[in-house]
Structure 1
Amino acid sequence: MTEEDLLLDPVGDDYPSLVGEALLSLDNDEFSCSASLSENGYVWMVVGRRLFVWKLENEKASANAAYQLSLPPSGLPYNVRTVRVYLRPNSSNVGVIAISPEGTIRHWPNIGRSYSDSSVDLEREVALSLDEVIDSGELVQICFLVYSTPIDSKRHQMFLIL
């Protein structure tokens, strides 16, 4: 049997300073943090009830300045599965959409501009995730699929079209 060594290379703080400050300001008792990376190189991180979005600049994953966005009000905790960062077809504008566990949708068509709120009736269920539906054609609309807790032992889902 051969023995393998595991080598871990330390990396520096790759978070934008705004994100690092948010992480340091959380109490250990209420620490809630999750992060994701999109195909187009954008990172989004939910820290407590705040959302941070930034673009990774190069293959070394150095961090750029972050946007801090406010998530819709909720009595339940957030995670990155209920947030999506996307690019519209034929556009360089980054959009963000988030759904609260109770069904309030907050949409930023352009990350640097104001948001709009709407809501969906989840029939007393809880939103679990928000997924982008990818179309291989030239469709200019963006579609998202919301999954919620099961209704009658079936996973509930609905489409959102932007």
Structure 2
Amino acid sequence: MTELPDDLVFDSATPADVAAIVALVESAYRGDASRQGWTTEADLLDGQRVDSQAIEQELVHPRSRILLARRGDELLACAHVAVDGDAGYFGMFAVRPDGQGAGVGKRVLAEAERIAREVWGLASMRMTVIDVREELIAFYERRGYRRTGIRKPFPYGDSRFGLPRRDDLRFELLEKAL
């Protein structure tokens, strides 16, 4: 992996970015291409991770944005950041598989936390992670997130969230004070 460039720029997605976001998220989580990185869900789920319609819906919600990290015209990472009750919500986090491990993800997470804290005045950030993804949960724990023990069912039967390859998937809520 190469060092993270100093010229990483953050901005918010627009409708013109939808196709690139779908491609990035799919490449980070599904299929053989995702296996280049460590965030793949290819052994857990087939099918799609996100579609254009879901992204377009998030772009129109107030106090919701899809954060993009770019170097020049190159999209390196994205994340969905939103207000969820009294906390921020962090999701749809994707870093290009060939760029994982170079620090881009840490910077995107920090920027999302900054937005929740400084722009929206929130005191905490929440996310849900498939609970069998121990390596990913450990990544978040190293950044101050804690496992809450609150679990939510995986939406089996709803292909918008992928096609499960196993029957023991569920989400766990992680939380961090900002």
Q: Same fold (TM over 0.5)?
A: no
Could you say which structure has the higher helix fraction?
A: 2
State the TM-score, normalized to the length of structure 1: 0.28
Q: Indicate the structure with greater strand content.
A: 1
